[in-house]
Amino acid sequence: MDNSFSAKDFVQSLAQDLVNSFARAGRATTPVLVGTAREQAVRLKLEKLFPQAVCVSTGCVIDVDNNTSKQTDIIIYEKDICPVFSINDTPESSYYPCESVIAVGEVKSTLNTSDLLDAFSKIESVKKLKRFGNEGASFRKYCSHTVIWGSKEETFNQFNNPLDQIYGFIICEKIGLGIDAFLAKCAEEVNKRPPYLVPNMVVSLHDGVLVYIDIKQKKTCTDPTGADFLYFVNKKGENFQQLLTALYSVITRGRSTDVFPFVKYIIDDSNYPGNGRVFKL
């Protein structure tokens, strides 16, 4: 019996389980059932490794102006802070305030052109939601109720600071295009959008990981801001781990706005007390 425990080996086994889960899901009898089974496999694997304050589900993301994203396969949110508005307790018909959503993901089996465009569109629909009060000097770290008043340089800005944005990723079993064609299509879609609206990472369990890179500084970037190239690399057995590392970084370093805005989702206090009746004490 080996008396030592290797966290790397443990995560590697979970990654292999995910590959096997994708294969088992392929036995389902309709494309919808196949997709649902694969989405559930990813959600379960992620939730096993995240802190208890973080939860993984599916549904739509909303903002205080009632703007609503498209239905998203994976929603990672603050479990102890986020109010969940669920219709008949159905995960797919659940709505999550964007202020408490940490990341969203799209799950595909074989990532072809139509799936890639669909994933870009769904992630964009989440990222363009505006967090309430997102132009002030105050912010909080994910999973914390403590509001911090920062310096001018620390001002919350979800449009220019990747740490203030909802992280978006695409995960698939394999890429159904030639790698050059895949990279060209990704570059085309990225260049159509502002940097804050594009996926931050594409992960193929079989083929590799796509991120952004500043070639002069020889460093990867969270989004296209400051990057001049796409960077695709096959870590051969550790592609899923690259996504886990990125998500852990977002959970521990990412920022959102004050928890107070959640009141705005359930109470319209804009006219209070102007249209009320007053009576002298």
Residue 135: band (very low, low, confident or very high) from pLDDT cuts 50, 70, 90: low
Is the Cβ–Cβ distance between 101 and 126 less than 8 Å? yes
pLDDT in tens, 140-159: 999 998 888 878 888 888 99
CB 166 within 8 A of CB 240: no
Q: Over the stretch 73-120, which tens digit does the pLDDT of each residue have?
A: 999 999 988 889 999 888 788 999 999 999 999 999 899 999 999 999
Distance, CA of 113 to CA of 179 (rounded, Å): 12
| CA pseudo-torsion sign 223, 225, 226, 231 | positive
